[in-house]
Amino acid sequence: MSEPHPQIKHAYQNHHLDSTRWENFQVRDDDIIIATPYKSGTTWMQNIVRHLVFLEQPTMPAQTDVSPWLDNRLFPIEDILSKLEAQEHRRFIKTHLPLDGLPFYQQAKYIVMGRDARDVFMSLWNHYRNYTPEFIKLMNEDVPGLVGSPFPPCPVDIGTFWYMWMTRGWFEWEREGYPFWSNISHVQIWWDFRSLPNILFVHFADLLEDPSGEIARVAKYLDIALSDQQVESIVEATSFQSMKEKAEHYVPAGGRAWIGGAQTFMNQGINGRWKNVLVPEDLSLYHESASRILSPSCQQWLENGRLASA
């Protein structure tokens, strides 16, 4: 019996997203699609792939110039598609869409990042509460074509944000993630197709624990040969410290959407901060949501990563 083929079931359209922007995308046989929930290592993986694609080349283009977030509705889709069509190197494109809202191309290779939802939340809290009023106005009023309700300002209290993020969905088919979109369901939808040969899962915690091993694994998956020396060079170039020093090179629009700019976006790059913030009642909400949405294997991987569960 053949493997089930992923199918589009929903159109994800809100203040940030428009999944229909993929309808005119023309895939190439060697395309790489980095498909992650928010705040799960997207920019980190984009930079790793950038170093792999431009390996040993004397100059390396800026990440924001070559690896667009295609389903971000704030930038004209015609411009993005035109730039992608003009690229002669191996392309690598970012998406924050679940697999039930994204075309599945058998000839492309997908890299799916995952991270413990509690760590995602701590990073998202920094991300959301530092949005500038001008950026929220841009999403809600200045860029035409908003579908659905306007994006709300961040609550003052972190507990209030946790409760609505963990118990309410933005879309009618979601049960968590408000006011963005699903995080937990996003991973499960991809996880259901993890046996497909062109989907690779990489965990944020594993990249922290063993960057050399994980970068070598990504390179092998992409059929890119690396020497040990090249691996270590990429580890150094893509470390959090190295990226934070040049944060404006990696953050969309140079970080102008956040108070404090790109340095705010590149916050701490660590896990476990939730242990000093979330109280037992908060954790009960998490476990209820995770057990309702995630399969046991997916929950185990999300909470522990490959290394911790080996």
The pLDDT of residue 307? 53
Average pLDDT, the chain: 89
Q: Out of 108-112, 129-133, 137-141, pick the least confident.
A: 129-133
For the whole model, what pTM was predicted?
0.91
Write the DSSP symbol of residue 20.
Answer: G
C-alpha distances in Å from residue 181, one per residue of 97, 201, 288: 9, 20, 18
The pLDDT of residue 310? 37
Structure tokens at 40: 């799960």
Structure tokens at 79: 């411009």
Q: Please give the average per-residue pLDDT across 252-263, as a whole number.
A: 61
- Asked whether 70 and 95 are in contact (CB, 8 A), the reply is yes
The confidence band for 308, taking pLDDT boundaries of 50, 70 and 90, is very low
Give residue 59's identity as a one-letter amino acid code.
T
Q: Is the dihedral of CA 119, 120, 123, 124 positive or negative?
A: negative
Residue-wise pLDDT for 51-67, tens only, equals 999 997 878 888 888 99
Domains, the chain, ranges and CATH? 19-309 (3.40.50.300)
Residue-wise pLDDT for 17-53, tens only, equals 999 999 999 999 999 999 999 999 998 999 999 999 9
* Short-list 100, 83, 49, 6, CA closest to 217: 49
Distance CA 179, CA 124 (A): 11
Cα radius of gyration rounded to whole Å, the chain: 19
Find all residues with CB under 8 Å of 287, minimum gap 6, and list them. Answer: none
Give residue 237's identity as a one-letter amino acid code.
A
* Short-list 182, 235, 242, 234, CA closest to 40: 182
* Short-list 120, 156, 144, 136, CA closest to 289: 120
* 140-157 b/e (C-beta count within 10 Å ≥ 16 → b): eeeeeebeeeebeebbee
Q: Is the dihedral of CA 70, 76, 82, 83 positive or negative?
A: negative
